[in-house]
Amino acid sequence: MARALLIWPVLLLIAATLPASGKRSPPVSHQAVEIETLVNRAAEFLEERGPDAFAEFRRKGTGWRYGDVYLFVVDMRGIVLFNAAYPNREGRDLLHERDADGKPFHQAFIDTVSRFGSGWVDYMFPRPGQSVVTVKWSYVCETHVAGAEALIGAGAYVE
């Protein structure tokens, strides 16, 4: 019994030091696997084609953009280089942008990629064409754009 009481504080300490983002995963789903595959393929395509890949990523109804799924690219300083669904965000420094719950999600993207190379981040964000925010899980992975370090991601909205 005394041993069990000693373990709980250790477990709480470990839980408190876990990252707010990182190797966490969304609920297991077919869509999560699809998004990881999409983002990993897109990272390779982007490294081959450079910024010219953005035109392909932007086209609706392609393997790169369908339904509510779209790609985004952010440099490691928090500048949005590309966002298929929200092009008005491109060129903006959104490192300190917070979601409806106060989470600095661009910083969480960067932290995840910096620490793990890839991973999932949850945050509150509106679906394209809507203003009401909902839970979104995005998978991000490291990539390069014209030789500069960046991350690429896509996500799924949770009902």
Q: Which domains does the chain have, with CATH numbers?
A: 45-158 (3.30.450.20)
Mean pLDDT by 10 residues, the chain (159 residues): 38 34 62 94 96 96 93 98 96 96 97 97 92 94 95 92
Contacts of 90 (CB under 8 A, 6+ apart): 80, 81, 82, 83
Contacts of 123 (CB under 8 A, 6+ apart): 99, 101, 103, 105, 108, 135, 136, 138
pTM of the model: 0.82
Cβ 74 vs Cβ 54: under 8 Å? no
